[in-house]
Amino acid sequence: MATEDILIIDFGSQYNQLIARKVREHDVFCEIVPPDISAASIRKKNVKGIILSGGPASVYAKNAPSCDKEIFSLGIPVLGICYGMQLMTKLLGGKVERTRFREYGRAALTVTNRRMLFKHIPKKSVSWMSHGDKVKRMPQGFTRLALSKNTSIAAFADFRRRLYGVQFHPEVVHTEHGKTIIKNFVKDICRCSGDWSMRSFVKDTISEIRKVVGKKEKVVLGLSGGVDSSVTALLINKAIGHRLVCIFVDNGLLRKNEAGSVKEIFQKHFKINLKCVDASKYFLNELRGVQDPEKKRKIIGRTFIKVFEEEAHKVGGVKFLAQGTLYPDLIESRSAFGGPSATIKTHHNVGGLPKEMKLKLIEPLKYLFKDEVRRVGRELKMPQEVLGRHPFPGPGLAVRIIGEVTKARCDILREVDDRFISALRSNNLYDKIWQAFAVLLPIKSVGVMGDERTYENVVAIRAVTSLDGMTADWAKIPHEVLGKVSNRIINEVNGVNRVVYDISSKPPSTIEWE
Ligand code: XMP
């Protein structure tokens, strides 16, 4: 990977991914690792610094997560955040106690020592706290660096051993100078040079893929045309050329011209070895009469694996399967503490892994966040049209057609979706919106066209703003644009006589309707 590494030991904080992103903002590579990592294994890597994350437990609680105490004797700088600071206190002989007044949210921070960690930080600033315990007595050798109203030791340090702790969360945006604090830690205290760039990532990953795959073996990849599988395809293609075989499955549930544009970009432009399979009849046949959304998803997943396996089999002699897994999926699938965030969201993977194929996995993006994948794509000259694409669910239009999925209904929805998306593009709204699409409802409404009464379909259009799809708000598209979109849809798409705009946020609604 990179030559420098910061380890983030995961004690179950909901902000762990945020810490990783904040470290990477300074071009420093970092990894989130479970608490049972040993000091001996850390010694073998080029670890420049360790961050102990926050977490929901109390350090004296039964089964509270802990870490190898030797970590503090490696000579590597350590920064404990919240629970991490309290654990450091306990393991090094200090004392932690329950606070009388919990601190949640913004808290005024007073810095009492502006050396190293708090370099360039004003004496008074706002920090973000979320804790019920606090440090009562510091371990030997430590000095207080900051205090807040309810926490007399809000930050501390043993400058000689380069051990630091903060009770607040520098990784969240509400901590005014959090970015500088993290920079001071990774750049000044850990002395990282910041050699983690997308250019170095591309170079290292290509040589790594060559080493793993060897000079003869073949790799298959399910290419959906989305950002993740597209960037994975380009990277592997750069490494092994036509020994990467991309399989694009047209399941009949795609948007207008989708198959054509994938062929245009990957086959013609990038000269990638691409097999396009038109399995639309097969999928639609399997979906006949099915109304339940979860059943639809299962059928589509199962059918995808079947078609994909058959095609991969035809390629022959394949040893590797590539997937566009990203870091958040990886972290969630191996979270140390179980709970809801530990279950991998299988529905977010296109089809999942065909187990019976016994292929070795290649996941070149598994340490990257989405924005980093886009940067890698830019590095590889991927067109903005692909990189800026809204997410599109694996089950495609099937979860946007409420009720039974038929070719005729897919055709209507494709046309409606096309009118909506092209209007967003021509009004410069597409890139400001996180996801936009149309939904075909299972009801008909009365209308009048010319002198005739109509009785046709109703469609909903939905556009949301969001950062990660976990929460979302409905997009405030100007009324004139909505009006024009509605007119175009009703005038140009046969079978639709009414358009409604979805104004629900997530939660309590979801982004998709099914
Ligand atoms: P929801 O509807 O859960 O959607 O708010 C959040 C994000 O996930 C996408 N989504 C899916 N993606 N398979 C996928 O690959 C699915 O079954 C699926 N369901 C929802 C949705 O489009 C949104 O981006």
**392 located within any domain:** no
Pair 45, 72 in one domain: yes
* Phi, psi at 508, each rounded to 5°: -85, -15
Residue 166 lies in a domain: yes
Residue 394 is assigned to a structural domain of this protein: no
Q: pLDDT tens-digit profile of 1-30?
A: 568 999 999 999 888 889 999 999 999 999
Which range among 67-81, 195-209, 239-253 shows the weakest confidence by mean pLDDT? 195-209
Compute the distance between CA of residue 322 and CA of residue 320 in angstroms, rounded to an integer.
Answer: 6
Question: At residue 495, what are phi and psi to the nearest 5 degrees?
Answer: 95, 0
pLDDT of residue 341: 35
> Mean of the per-residue pLDDT values for the chain?
93
Residues 158 and 221 in one domain: no
Q: Are residues 374 and 308 in the same domain?
A: yes
Same domain, 383 and 419: no
> 256-312, pLDDT tens digit by residue?
999 999 999 999 999 999 999 999 999 999 999 999 999 999 999 999 999 999 999
**Residues forming beta bridges with residue 349, ordered by sequence position:** none
Q: Is 347 touching ligand 1 by the criterion CB < 6 Å?
A: yes
Kindly state if the Cβ of 257 falls inside 6 Å of ligand 1: no
82 is catalytic: yes
Residue 227 lies in a domain: yes
> Does residue 408 share a domain with residue 381?
no
> Is 506 part of any domain?
no
Q: Does 351 have pLDDT greater than 50?
A: no
Q: What confidence category does residue 352 fall into, taking pLDDT thresholds of 50, 70 and 90? A: low
Determine the residue type at 378: R
Q: Is 328 in the pocket of ligand 1 (CB under 6 A)?
A: no
Q: Which residue has the higher pLDDT, 104 or 384?
A: 384
Question: What are the tokens at 496?
Answer: 């639709």
Ligand 1 neighbourhood includes 94 CB (under 6 angstroms): no
pLDDT in tens, 384-411: 989 999 999 999 999 999 999 999 999 9
Whole-number pLDDT of residue 471: 86
For residue 512, the CA-to-ligand 1 centroid distance in Å is 6
Q: Ligand 1 within 6 A of 324 CB?
A: no
Q: Determine the atom of ligand 1 nearest the C-alpha atom of 435.
A: 24
Residue-wise pLDDT tens digits, 128-166:
998 889 999 999 999 999 999 889 999 999 999 999 999
What number of H helices and E strands is found in the chain?
14, 18
- Does one domain contain both 286 and 371? yes
Domain boundary among 387, 421, 445: 387
What angle, 0 to 180 degrees and rounded to 10, lies between the N-to-C axes of helices 227-240 and 370-379? Answer: 40
Residues 221 and 82 in one domain: no
Question: Looking at 356, 387, 418, which one is the last position of a domain?
Answer: 387
pLDDT, tens digit, for every residue of 42-89?
Answer: 999 999 999 999 999 999 999 999 999 999 999 999 999 999 999 999
Measured CA to CA, the distance from residue 25 to residue 223 in angstroms comes to: 29
Q: Which CATH number belongs to the domain containing residue 492 in this structure? A: 3.30.300.10
Placement of tokens 């600033």 in the chain = 125
Q: How many domains does the chain have?
A: 3
Same domain, 248 and 314: yes
Q: What is the pLDDT of residue 402?
A: 98
Q: Which of 171, 311, 379, 456 is catalytic?
A: 171
Position 343 scores a pLDDT of 34
Angstrom distance (rounded) from CA 103 to CA 130: 6
Residue 350 has pLDDT above 80, yes or no: no
**pTM confidence score:** 0.83
Q: Please identify, by atom number, the ligand 1 atom nearest to the C-alpha of residue 350.
A: 15
* Predicted local confidence at residue 327, as pLDDT: 86
Domain check: are 315 and 371 in the same one?
yes
CATH code of residue 105: 3.40.50.880
Q: What is the pLDDT of residues 460-494, one digit of tens each?
A: 999 999 988 888 999 999 999 999 999 999 999 99
Q: What percent of the chain has pLDDT over 70?
A: 95
Are 352 and 279 found together in one domain?
Answer: yes
What CATH number is attached to the domain comprising 282?
3.40.50.620
pLDDT at 247 over 50: yes
Taking CA atoms only, the protein residue closest to ligand 1 atom 10 is 393
Q: Which domain holds residue 149?
A: 5-189
Confidence of residue 342 (pLDDT cuts 50, 70, 90): very low
Indicate whether 417 and 439 sit together in one domain. Answer: yes
Quickly state the pLDDT bin for 358 (edges 50, 70, 90).
Answer: confident
User: Is residue 354 scored above 90 in pLDDT?
Assistant: no
In this model, does residue 426 exceed pLDDT 60?
yes
Q: How far is CA 214 from CA 38, 127, 320, in A?
A: 32, 51, 11
Among 332, 502, 511, 513, say which to mutate for ligand 1: greatest number of ligand atoms within 8 Å of CB. 511
Using 50, 70 and 90 to split pLDDT, how confident is the model at 233? very high
Ligand 1 near 395 CB (within 6 A) = yes
Strand partners, 499: 459
DSSP 349: S
Decide if 458 contacts 493 (C-beta within 8 A): no
Strand, coil or helix: 181: helix
- Asked whether residue 393 is domain-assigned, the answer is no
Token pair for 7: 């380890």
> Is position 303 within any domain?
yes
* Residue 91: pLDDT over 80: yes
Question: 408 and 274, same structural domain?
Answer: no
Considering 339, 360, 387, which residue would you say is the last residue of a domain? 387
Could you tell me if residue 429 is inside a domain? yes
